[in-house]
Amino acid sequence: MTMISTKRYLYRLCAPLVLAVLFMVAVPAAAQVLHDSLPELRNIDVVEHLGEQIPLDTRLVNDRGDTVTLAKYFGQGKPVVMVMGYYNCPMLCQMVLNGLSDGLRTVPWEPGGDYLLLNVSINPRETYELAAAKKRNYLEYFRRDNAADGWHFFVGPEEQTRSLAEALGFRYYYDEARQEYAHAAVAFILSPDGVISRYLYGLTFKANDLKLAILEASEGKIGNTIDRIILYCYHYDPDAKGYVVFASNIMKLGGLLSLILLFIFLAILWLKDRKRSFAKKQDEMQGAKAGGR
């Protein structure tokens, strides 16, 4: 093997992991250099389509072998966490699903009851039996009750999965030499109506980021009042690739809390003054009655 062909082989071997690292560390300048030196990476990208609708008429085959449309899993008032990859992926897809499972295990909401998880294969040659086997493995790994009703695995024809990927801005390509798909490491957070709400990148997912993203996608319909207050205090920072404290909103809440405390303090003073005035009048009335006798 010549030096040039060896370099090309190493580039193809490392390209998916290099891209995943780029998304995690988020260094645009370095990404541009690598894109220029590795032409294959130009076919791998995530172009964010925040606020756009995914095609709910996409026809897929679920892990039970039934042909369904994505519309079946939307319109239920539940936000959706979606991942695109493939089940025979030698490394990256498994790492993404492991990271997602680890993060969601500590989120207090239940898949199926509060949100849905959808995993879609981009490999048209994969079967629903393989999807079912992958689902069994991850349900055992996930270890959450009733997760089977909320986590669904799909396969489908290329024109359908490719159309869904394009709507999500998920660009990938098939490497003939390695017979593998190259793609980025990303999870998509969708509203109950199928609108793209958030992109979360990397091989690990912080529980707080997942919780806030799901809460944000649900428009406050899940979680309690404290959860919604917490969401008000955070916002998504694309540079940090996660949710960070939103100082101005905290200041607003602090100001509101100060006003409430001031109101309570003044109310207490007013009530005490009323009580003293009432007691004084009572004493005067008692004194007047005593003098009249």
Contact 153, 25 (CB under 8 A): no
The residues, ordered by sequence, that sit 6+ positions from 201 with a Cβ below 8 Å of its Cβ are 23, 24, 26, 46, 184, 185, 186, 187, 241
AA identity, residue 71: A
Contact 210, 83 (CB under 8 A): no
For tokens 């493995």, the residue is 137
pLDDT score, position 218: 83
Assess if residue 274 is contained within a domain: no
The string of pLDDT tens digits covering residues 145-190 is 889 999 999 999 999 999 999 999 999 999 888 899 999 999 999 9
* 3-class SS of residue 49: coil
Instruction: Give residue 71's domain range.
Output: 3-245
CATH number, residue 97: 3.40.30.10
Assess if residue 181 is contained within a domain: yes
Assess if residue 118 is contained within a domain: yes
The string of pLDDT tens digits covering residues 255-271 is 445 545 545 655 676 57
Assess if residue 180 is contained within a domain: yes
Assess if residue 267 is contained within a domain: no
pLDDT score, position 35: 46
Cα 133 off chain centre by: 25
Task: Tell me what percent of the residues of the chain surpass a pLDDT of 70.
Answer: 62
Cα 145 off chain centre by: 20
Assess if residue 182 is contained within a domain: yes
Contact 105, 142 (CB under 8 A): yes
Range 199-219 average pLDDT: 89
Of 33, 57, 43, 58, the residue nearest 12 (C-alpha): 43
Most confident of 31-35, 189-193, 273-277, 289-293: 189-193
Assess if residue 280 is contained within a domain: no
Assess if residue 263 is contained within a domain: no
* 3-class SS of residue 21: helix
Domains: count for the chain: 1
